[in-house]
Amino acid sequence: MKSYKEMAENVLRRRNEYNTAKKKRTKKLLISITAATLTLIAGTIGVGAAVGSLRLLSDKGESKITSEIRTDVHTEAVAGIEMNIAEFLSDGHCVQMTVHYTATDNNGKKWLAGTQFSADTCSIKPDIKDGNSIEYGVNYGYSCYEYENYRTETDRYFYLGFYASSGEYGTGQAKFTYPMPDGEKTMLMNTQDNVGTKWYRLVSDKQPCDDFNVKYLTLSKLSFAIYGDNINIYEITESDSRMTDDHTPLEDIPIYAVMESGNRIRLKWSSGYTETTAKLENRYTDLVIASGSVIEFVPDSTEEINYIRQYVNTDKIQKIRIGDCCFELEPIEE
């Protein structure tokens, strides 16, 4: 075992190696950054459309989501800073946006350079009715990161997003919190009328385990959720419900989208918030058994990104395989 001093020496040596390598990389990137900046400056198309290509750099899948991206959604200007929601994409479960800050004078430049942006200071989260995530059976994760290659003295671009286990949280809105020179601000955004969600009945003559019955699927170009009836996930009493000790851990059951081509794509879980009270809001069932984004994670060899996120073309999903069971998709008319 290393002593703390040995570990500290290793850590600081690796920091120095990282910094040296980063300087070399920065020189290599200069050409591509210049090209991107020129596109932004010289393009005759609007800022929103130009940024439309920014987001797609990380989403190289076949899913045709470009047309659904709403651009130039909202602009606000205060004391040398302009904040623009350049892109917005949502199906209620999953919301993604690009936020562009521009400094319009020297004070704005100073503010932009000195402001820390993180998920703590700049975020979008579901606006759950009365803040009651337990009642609505909704769990969510949110993130904020910067498109650092596009950072200049006057411009910074950020990706913001959240993923919720259910799109039904009572308000149909998300709360966007963001910093401005005159303080932190919030605004509510409609999350429901952008990317459509379809409902399917999941049909099979057997079930993947004895703890729940799989019943329905919601699917959009961004996300999926599988709903079912509780058998042995929750022990329900008159006053309370508690997860049972002996149920199959849901995360251990793999879920695949079976495509028309016959290929199978493993769908990533985000841990569901399986609450029996979800029955109140989810139209048909007790449980959100599984939910996540319809993204294929393709391994990438680049140094800092471990995989490329590719949106799956959901129109070509033929079946859903859960564990050993294959389910046919039977569309439900709204």
Q: Which stretch binds other proteins (CB under 8 A): 6-14, 64-72, 98-106, 173-181?
A: 6-14
Helix 4-42 / helix 47-56 crossing angle, nearest 10 deg? 140
Out of 5, 23, 24, 28, point to the residue binding other proteins (CB under 8 A). Answer: 5
**Binding of other proteins at residue 132 (CB under 8 A)?**
no
Nearby residues of 60 by Cβ (< 8 Å), 6 or more positions away = 308, 310
Decide: is 8 part of the binding site for other proteins (CB under 8 A): yes
Query: Whose Cβ is closer to other proteins: residue 87's or residue 275's?
Result: 275
User: What are the start-end ranges of the H helices in the chain?
Assistant: 4-42, 47-56, 106-114, 133-136
Query: Which of 4/27 has CB closer to other proteins?
Result: 4
CB of 245 to other proteins, least distance (A): 5
d(CA 294, CA 163): 12
CB of 53 to other proteins, least distance (A): 27
* Residues β-bridged to residue 158: 99, 146
E strand map for 91-233: 94-103, 123-126, 140-146, 155-164, 173-180, 183-190, 198-203, 212-219, 223-230
Q: Is residue 12 part of the contact set for other proteins (CB under 8 A)?
A: yes
* Interface characters, 193-232, with other proteins (x: CB under 8 A): ----------------------------------------
Contact residue for other proteins among 102, 139, 173, 293 (CB under 8 A): 139
Residues 81-120 that bind other proteins (CB under 8 A): 116, 118, 120
To 5 degrees, how large is the angle CA 199–CA 205–CA 211? 80
Q: How far apart are the two ends of the chain, measured CA to CA in Å? A: 62
Residues binding other proteins (CB under 8 A): 1-2, 4-5, 7-8, 10-12, 14-15, 18-19, 116, 118, 120-121, 133-134, 139, 141, 242-243, 245, 271, 273, 306
